[in-house]
Chain A
Amino acid sequence: MSSTAAKSRTIKVDCLARVEGEGALFVKMKGDRITDVKLKIFEPPRLFEAFLRGRHFSEVPDIVARICGICPIAYQMSAVHAIERALGVKVDPAVRLLRRLFYCGEWIESHALHIFMLHAPDFLGYPDAIQMARDYRAVVEQALRLKKIGNRIVTLMGGREIHPVSVAVGGFYRVPARSELNPLLEDLKWALDASLQSVKLVAGFEFPDFEQPYEFVSLSHPDEYPFNEGRLISNKGLDIDVAEYEEHFVEQHVKHSNALQSVLRPRGSYMVGPLARFNLNFARLPEVAQQAAREAGLSVPSNNPFRSIIARAVEMVFACWEAIRIVEAYEPPATPRAAVSVHAGVGCAATEAPRGTLYHRYRIDDQGLVQFAKIVPPTSQNQKRMEEDLWQFVPRLANRPTDEVTWKCEQALRNYDPCISCATHFLRLHLERE
Chain B
Amino acid sequence: MLIIGVGNPDRSDDAAGLLVARRLRELGIDAQEHTGDPLALIDAWDEAGEAILIDTVVTGASPGTITKWDAADTPLLPDPFCCSTHGFGVAEAVEIARRLGRLPARLLIYGIEGASFEIGGALSVEVVAAVERVAEEIAKIDLVGQPFWAASQPSGWLEPLESGSAS
Contact = CB atoms under 8 A, between A and B. Distances in A.
- A and B found bound together: yes
Contact of B40 (A70, A137, A151): A151
B87 A17 contact: yes
Interface in A108-161: 109, 113-114, 117-118, 128-130, 133-134, 137, 140-141, 144, 147-148, 151, 160-161
Interface stretch (B91-99, B110-118, B126-134, B139-147): B91-99
A19 interface: yes
Given A129-B96, A133-B100, A140-B96, A117 B40 contact: no
Interface residues of A, number: 27
A117 B36 contact: no
A69 B85 contact: yes
B43 A148 contact: yes
B86 A19 contact: yes
A18 interface: yes
B100 A20 contact: no
Given A130-B92, A140-B96, A141-B100, A151 B36 contact: yes
Nearest to A46: B119
A160 B37 CA distance: 10
Contact of B87 (A18, A141, A148): A18
A243 interface: no
Contacts, number: 57
A113 B100 contact: no
Q: Is the interface of A mostly helix, strand, loop or mixed?
A: helix
A184 interface: no
B41 to A, nearest CB: 11
B87 A70 contact: no
A326 interface: no
A162 B87 contact: no
Contacts of A129: 92, 96
Contact of B86 (A70, A141, A151, A161): A70
Q: Ordered nearest first, which 7 A-B pairs have the shortest CB separation?
A: A133-B99, A69-B85, A130-B95, A161-B36, A20-B86, A134-B99, A162-B36
26 contacts: A18-B86, A18-B87, A19-B86, A20-B85, A70-B85, A113-B88, A114-B86, A118-B87, A129-B96, A130-B92, A130-B95, A130-B99, A133-B99, A133-B100, A137-B100, A141-B100, A144-B39, A147-B37, A148-B40, A151-B37, A151-B40, A161-B36, A162-B35, A162-B36, A162-B37, A419-B86
